[in-house]
Structure 1
């Protein structure tokens, strides 16, 4: 994509720049051959992480002793963050398979920024959530129209100062606009990219069936398209970073509405409308 932008600027002018940006936004390049160690490192449960295919894929294992997790080597202020993931195929509640962004101040009980994909159990129930210098609570849950344990699928988080968009297989499923001028919280901090496989001991995810352990999740596509956090970095340039001012066109908005109508089974705005001011505004 960097090459696309440079070529456009040199040879084709403004229209080609716009085309490159639209292509980037509509369908990020998927490069499943990037080595895990180029951009990530094991964060915990190292003895439950196995490297596959010359480290272009990893296997996370969950048993009664431990799960596992990994983290990006850098923090990012904005970007389009992609992973291809296959969740455990043994059916149970309680298993949590994740891909998310998170700020440094994530200690329990502390307000922080976080943008989540979380599979709750292994029956295709996908939850998204947002923390915006607070304790979150902005869950939306979708029952996917496919079995995410049968094959790899693509999950993307677009994080910019203006908008957050969640994608599943290049379909936008949720968007959250920066409306801080209306008193609505919005994530603003540099964040790590993380993935993990763990189990919940609380009732919100249900009880795990340990008779089916171990549970195994697979991840691939470890390329990162983002602006790293550095004191002298300008992560707000739409020319250098085409995800900065994302806007869904009418076709994408209709696709998103259709997906949400058919597959969303829980929305925090339906149950906690008075708690979150964004729930009274159109957030697209």
Structure 2
């Protein structure tokens, strides 16, 4: 039990909250009604009571993926996920929003889970694109094993902010600073919800040093209990940090943030993206 108290009472609170959220039926959506396969054929499997469970698989033939049938302009998306277990090196499991990429000026909001060798933590990669420009990455390790149980991953997107949450704990907030002359925020293009499992061993694990072990294939990731709230009176419209969630965000950023583009002096030796000067004012 010593590990649970490593970071004090806040860690215990986070663990208990995560268990409560991940074990609940967060949503009751039917995958057939809301989503469609994008690639992978039979590797996309919908099953379970009410068609509320979905699995993606990856083998040497192909990965797999799905997307929402509708586009959304703002809202809250929740999805419970259980990631590829065991040696997942070279694999990438995703949940993200994206507008039409054929325009070359697409918007995108990303959760990407970069696999690793057995016993090493996944890297949770987040990014934001606006008008075809990205390079706004933050990466995290998680305070739990995301392969043993389902956990809820959420994106809140409103005109003021984008918030990434894990089991209701905010891990990142990306704000709209257009009132300060910074015109980098996705707010005009509707986006679909996407998810995928694919192979990227040229970069996904330790910068491409660890390759995919195909003897472990097929690799499988699981999705369930999604919820999409775009209602006009939804809480997402005014969602923001309160005192409790601000403290949780600080706890995650202090203990589990492993990369922040706003601290990468080597990459941005000439100048940091303009929102970085405000990023600490959460």
| TM-score, structure 1 as length reference | 0.81
Match status 1:113 vs 2:107: yes
Compute the displacement of 1:133 (Å). 1.2
- What does residue 97 of structure 1 align with? 93
| Aligned 1:115-194 pairs, distance under 5 A | 115-122=109-116, 123-181=121-179, 182-188=181-187, 189-194=189-194
Match status 1:277 vs 2:267: no
Query: In the alignment, which of 222, 225, 236 is matched to residue 218 of structure 1?
Result: 222
Compute the displacement of 1:111 (Å). 2.8
CA distances 1:167-215 after superposition (whole Å, capped 9, x unpaired)? 0010000001111232240011110001110111533543222221110
Aligned to 1:279, the other structure's residue is in SS state helix
Aligned to 2:254, the other structure's residue is in SS state helix
Contact 1:130 1:136 in 2 (8 A): yes
CA distances 1:42-100 after superposition (whole Å, capped 9, x unpaired)? 12112111122142101100001111111111100111100000011021321000101
Structure 1 unmatched ranges of 5 or more:
1-26, 228-236
The 3 A distance-change label for structure 1 pair 32 and 158 is closer
Query: In the alignment, which of 210, 235, 249 is matched to residue 256 of structure 1?
Result: 249
In structure 2, how many angstroms separate the alpha carbons of the residues matched to 1:183 and 1:32? 36
In structure 1, how many angstroms separate the alpha carbons of the residues matched to 2:127 and 2:58? 23
RMSD over aligned Cα, in angstroms? 2.0
- What does residue 230 of structure 1 align with? none
CA distances 1:133-174 after superposition (whole Å, capped 9, x unpaired)? 133111111111111011100000001111110000100000
In structure 2, how many angstroms separate the alpha carbons of the residues matched to 1:111 and 1:120? 25
In structure 1, how many angstroms separate the alpha carbons of the residues matched to 2:148 and 2:174? 30
Structure 2 unmatched ranges of 5 or more:
1-20
How many pairs were matched up? 245
Contact 1:110 1:135 in 2 (8 A): no
Contact 2:164 2:170 in 1 (8 A): yes
Match status 1:209 vs 2:213: yes
In structure 1, how many angstroms separate the alpha carbons of the residues matched to 2:255 and 2:108? 26
